[in-house]
Amino acid sequence: MRLAVLGLALVLAACFPWEGVPSADLEPYAAPSREVVVSMEDFAFRPDTLRISPGTVVVFANQGQHPHTATKSGGLFDSGILAPGERFRYTFALSREYSVYCKLHPYMVLRTVVGP
């Protein structure tokens, strides 16, 4: 049984090598809460769908050549205009679904599902 579990873990690690494997360029200490980076470039959020647990900090990073915003309709949050190279952080505390868009390019939409 232990071997089967170990085997499964090895298979999973082989299939998903990027998950949970610390990389040398990450911060050397454990962050108090999980951070996920969403890139804004080429007039899209990348990824365009997020599934995260409550308390996750999402870093909206403008890695493109044009200004963008990360805005939640209803006034929950608005990054204001982020110039290329700028970032905005928001902690998603509540389990629910959020739709985030860019005010300058409303067709840029990020669907965020927060749940356990």
Residues that bind Cu ion (CB under 5 A): 68, 102, 104-105, 108
Residue 68 or 100 having the CB closest to Cu ion: 68
Nearer to Cu ion, 54 or 66 (CB): 66
CA-based nearest residue to 60, from 74, 41, 76: 41
Alpha helices in the chain (DSSP H): 2-15
What is the nearest approach in angstroms of Cu ion to the Cβ of residue 64?
A: 8
Q: How many angstroms separate the CA atoms of 105 and 92, rounded?
A: 23
Max distance between CA atoms of the chain, in angstroms, equals: 55
**Residue 2 Cβ vs Cu ion, minimum distance, rounded to whole Å:** 51
Q: Report the residue number, 89 or 103, with the smaller CB distance to Cu ion.
A: 103
